[in-house]
């Protein structure tokens, strides 16, 4: 299908990121209202450093060829605006994943490093790892190294957490309906996490964290295999790893580790799940 035949929200990378940002706004508003009043300030810091880092590394030679997802070309003139929009949406996700009340500087340091690593791996269009999760893993390790203690989740009611999680899930569903995200990987992710829920081993903040990651991060086709079965496999691996961590009373931010591992296996999973062509006469 040619770009001219696509709906207007899918005709350009900039339009796609704009739709993602709009879909996130109600969820971020609910998140801020219910249990994280400091989220806008944290987002402002992350957005500022993210935009600054993006502008700094924009002078690096662009990847060749520049592509989005699986084979969709990105025009060179759209690279910088798209990179800035990607940094802003990523900053919003990281700001929402970072525990309320904890110092902001580890997340800022992790985000800056993650954007540099993303560019070294080819840029936002081809980087195999979601930079939000990479930044979260670095920030947690940095905070633990400096303070000597784990990042503690805030105490919130299950009712409030359910409202906030519903906002993030609704954002993900909207993006799926607009065909800007896939439903397969998040579904595979949610199933084992819900199993933990039924076992009574999941905290309210864990539920919100899982909703954010599954709805907006795991569903991003840029980091998933091209095959349907491969997407389900990555989601299932991420969900199973997350469930095992929570069964062992790990903090919600530990979600970054199994998800990053699942995405690291994504190229291999894609190769295994790609149908073989029969070239025999």
Quick one: 162 exposed, middle or buried, by C-beta within 10 A (0-12, 13-18, 19+)?
Answer: middle
Q: What is the pLDDT of residue 69?
A: 43
pLDDT of residue 52: 93
For residue 122, the model assigns a pLDDT of 77
125 within 8 A of 68, measured Cβ to Cβ: yes
Q: Per-residue confidence of the chain (281 residues) as pLDDT tens digits?
A: 555 678 888 888 888 999 999 999 999 999 999 989 999 999 999 999 999 998 888 776 555 444 444 444 555 556 778 888 989 999 999 999 999 888 899 999 999 999 999 888 877 777 889 999 999 999 999 988 887 767 777 778 888 999 999 999 999 999 999 999 999 999 999 999 888 877 766 788 899 999 999 999 999 998 999 999 999 999 999 999 999 998 888 889 999 999 999 999 999 999 999 987 655 55
At 33 the pLDDT is 95
Identify the pLDDT of residue 4.
63
Upstream peptide bond of 65 is cis (omega within 30 degrees of 0): yes
Q: How far apart are CA 7 and CA 2, in angstroms?
A: 11
Query: Where are the domains positioned within the chain?
Result: 3-271
Domain spanning 3-271: CATH 3.40.1130: no
C-alpha distance from residue 239 to each of 157, 174, 228 (Å) = 23, 21, 17
């Amino acid at each position: 299908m040619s770009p001219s035949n696509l709906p207007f929200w899918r005709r350009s990378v900039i339009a796609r990121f704009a739709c993602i940002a709009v879909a996130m706004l109600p969820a971020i508003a609910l998140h801020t209202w219910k249990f994280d009043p400091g989220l806008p300030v944290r987002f402002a810091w992350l957005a500022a450093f993210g935009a600054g880092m993006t502008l700094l590394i924009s002078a690096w030679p662009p990847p060749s060829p520049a592509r989005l997802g699986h084979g969709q070309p990105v025009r060179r003139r759209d690279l910088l605006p798209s990179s800035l929009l990607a940094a802003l949406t990523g900053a919003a996700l990281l700001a929402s994943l970072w525990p309320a009340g904890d110092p902001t500087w580890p997340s800022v340091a992790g985000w800056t490093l993650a954007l540099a690593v993303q560019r070294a791996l080819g840029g936002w269009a081809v980087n195999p790892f979601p930079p939000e999760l990479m930044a979260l893993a670095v920030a947690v390790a940095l905070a633990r190294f400096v303070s000597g203690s784990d990042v503690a989740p805030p105490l919130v009611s299950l009712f409030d957490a359910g409202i906030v999680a519903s906002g993030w899930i609704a954002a993900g569903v909207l993006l799926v309906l607009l065909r800007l995200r896939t439903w397969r990987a998040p579904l595979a992710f949610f199933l084992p996490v819900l199993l933990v829920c039924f076992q009574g081993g999941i905290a309210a903040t864990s539920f919100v964290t899982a909703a954010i990651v599954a709805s907006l991060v795991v569903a991003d086709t840029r980091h998933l295999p091209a095959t349907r079965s491969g997407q389900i496999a990555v989601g299932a691996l991420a969900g199973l790893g997350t469930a095992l961590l929570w069964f062992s009373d790990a903090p919600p931010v530990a979600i970054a580790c199994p998800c990053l591992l699942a995405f690291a296996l994504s190229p291999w999973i894609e190769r295994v799940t790609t149908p073989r062509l029969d070239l025999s006469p």
